[in-house]
Structure 1
Amino acid sequence: MARPPEFDRAEALTEALHLFWERGYDRTSIRDLTGVMGISAPSLYNSFGGKKELYEEAVAEYERSPAVVVGQAIGEPTARDFVEKLLDAAVREYGSDEHPRGCFVISDPLLHENRQLARNAIHDRLRRAVEVGDLPDATDVEALTDYLDVFLRGLSSRARDGADKATLRAAADVALRAWPSGL
């Protein structure tokens, strides 16, 4: 009969998530993971399957967390409210001391598909705003999506480089002031 794990699996997963977030998949070793998780390599393999499976589970855990800023804003009633909440969430989450700085999905090159899904969600939200008349018909949804996507990536990068929340907030405020008045 197999012995039950002698560690808190959820806590170990969180520690692995944070390490992957800080270093990325490629720069994180099994030794690094077992050290931060406080478990042996056999326990890691028995509980998570291996580094790749642990990474996939960590990404899924991140995607369910409040740190995902697009999901926090997507339901806002207007495009302006959506952008404001998106940037507020980015400032709060990217600058948080509760987890590694910046955005995990933006920072790890392996998560291209996740970045594309977030970009698609922004695009769809802005397209719906045009369809319901919240944004003018002439709105270049592609360009506006690119603007928000690039801006979020920049905020994440600045946060990872040590920018404090006040710096991130100031940049977000400039972006909000740049929101076209006709929109």
Structure 2
Amino acid sequence: MARPPEFDREQALTRALHLFWERGYDRTTVRDLTEAMGISAPSLYNTFGGKRQLFDEAVATYTGSPTRVVPPALEERTARTVFAKILDIAIREYGSSTQPRGCFVISDPVLVDERQLGRDAIRGRLRRAYDDGDLPEGASVDALTDYIDVILRGLSSLARDGADPAALRAAADVALGAWPRSVRG
């Protein structure tokens, strides 16, 4: 009969998430993980299945978090307020002192599928805004989706490089100021 783990699983998972977030999947070793999590390699394998399974669970934890940047903003009334809320959440989360800075999904090259899901969600919301007349005639939903993506990547990068919330807010305010304002009548 296997002995129950002698560590807090959720705390160990959070430590693994933060390590993956800081270093990325490819640059994180099992040894790095066991040291950060305070567990032995056999405990890691018995509890999580292995490095890849642990990473997948860490990603699921991150993407299922109520502090995600994009999903909470998508129900705002207008495309501009969607973008404003995305920026507000990004500034708060990317600069948080309770976790690694920046965005985990943006920072790890292996998370391309997760990034695409976010882009698709933004594109879908902007398509709806365009169809509702909330964006100017001729506005490119694809270009605006790319614009939001580029801004989020930039804010994440600035945060990872140590920018304070005021610098993130200043950049976000410039980005928001460039948002198209005219609507169809």
1:63-86 per-position Cα deviation (integer Å, ceiling 9, x unaligned): 011342001211111111101000
CA distance in 2, matches of 1:16, 1:89: 23
CA distance in 2, matches of 1:177, 1:106: 23
What secondary structure sits across from 1:69 in the alignment? Answer: coil
Q: Which residue of 1 aligns with 2:13?
A: 13
1:144 aligns with 2:144: yes
CA distance in 1, matches of 2:171, 2:73: 18
For these two proteins, the number of residue pairs brought into alignment is 183
Deviation at 1:104, TM superposition (A): 0.3
* TM-score, structure 2 as length reference: 0.96
Identity of aligned residues (%): 69
Unaligned ranges ≥5, structure 1: none
1:84 aligns with 2:84: yes
1:4-61 per-position Cα deviation (integer Å, ceiling 9, x unaligned): 1111101100000000000000110111100111100000000000000000000000
Taking only aligned residues, the RMSD between alpha carbons, in angstroms, comes to 0.9
Alignment of 1:39-118 (within 5 A): 39-118=39-118
What secondary structure sits across from 2:70 in the alignment? Answer: helix
* TM-score, structure 1 as length reference: 0.97
CA distance in 2, matches of 1:59, 1:109: 13
CA distance 1:136–1:181, change in 2 (3 Å): closer
Unaligned ranges ≥5, structure 2: none
Q: Which runs of 4+ in 1 moved over 6 A?
A: none
CA distance in 1, matches of 2:24, 2:66: 20
